[in-house]
Amino acid sequence: MARKNPIASQLGPRIRQLRRQKKITLIELSKATGIAQATLSRIETGLMVGTVRSHQKIAETLGVSLAQLYDQLDTRRGQIRYLSASDSKKVAAKTDEMKCELLTHEISKKKITPLLITLNQRGKTQREQSERGVEKFVLPLEGTIVVQLEENEYPLKPYETLYFDASLPHVIRNAGAKQAKIFCAVSPPKI
C-alpha cells in the first residue's frame, strides 16, 4: 500500500494557504518562480515535495522566509516505519548457535536499534563490549536465558527484563532446553 509523503501532505496545503492569502494565482506563482504550473499543483496537493530550491523560490515570491514556510511542519510522522511480520528482516549476525535480525530499516537514521535474537539450544551470542554511552535492553520472548555481565549472571524467563550499560563485557546464552527468542534494543544504534 502506497503511503503519502507526510511532509508533502503538510507543506502543500501550507503553500496553498499562503498563496491564497496573498491573492496570487497558480499561474502567477508559476511565472514568478519559474516552476511549472503542473509541478506547483502537485506540490500543493501533496503529490510531491519539490526541492529546497523550489521551496525557496516559492517562499520568496510569497513574502515569507524558508523557515516560516517550514515552521508548522510536523516531521515526526516521517519517522514512522512499519515492518510487517512477512517483510524480510536483515540478518545482522548469524552463527550455528544464534541469529540476530534487525527489526527496522535505515538503522543509521535511528536512535535505537531493535533486534530479534534467536538462540539455539545451548547457543550464545559472542562476547560484546560496546563503547561508553551505549545502553542495551533485553527481553526474552520465548525460552530461558542468562545474561552474563562481567562476572555477574542474570537469569531471565520470558518477559523479565534487563537494562544495562553495554560498555560492560556481556554474553547472552540460552539456558533452556528449547530455542530462545529475545527482543533487544540498543541505544544509540550499535551492532
Q: Which helix (H) or strand (E) holds 12?
A: helix 6-21
Q: Is the pLDDT of residue 21 over 70?
A: yes
Q: Which helix (H) or strand (E) holds 117?
A: strand 113-119
Q: 0.85 cut: is pTM over it? A: no
> What is the distance between the alpha carbons of residues 25 and 99, in angstroms, rounded to a whole number?
58
* 66 Cα distance to chain centroid: 26
Q: Is the pLDDT of residue 20 over 70?
A: yes
pLDDT, residue 191, reads 52
Q: Is the pLDDT of residue 106 over 80?
A: no
Mean pLDDT, residues 72-91 taken together:
70
Confidence category of residue 71, pLDDT binned at 50, 70, 90 = confident
Same fold, 6-79 and 91-187: no
pLDDT, residue 10, reads 84
On whether the CB atoms of residues 127 and 168 are closer than 8 A, the answer is no
- Residue 168 DSSP symbol: S
Report the CATH fold assignment for 91-187. Answer: Jelly Rolls (2.60.120)
Q: Is the pLDDT of residue 1 over 80?
A: no
Confidence category of residue 189, pLDDT binned at 50, 70, 90 = low
Q: Is the pLDDT of residue 53 over 70?
A: yes
Q: What is the mean pLDDT of the chain?
A: 88
CATH 1.10.260.40 is the classification of domain 6-79: yes
The DSSP-derived string for 45-67 is TTS----HHHHHHHHHHHT--HH
β-partners of residue 183 are 116, 139
For the chain, which residues make up each domain, given as ranges? Answer: 6-79, 91-187
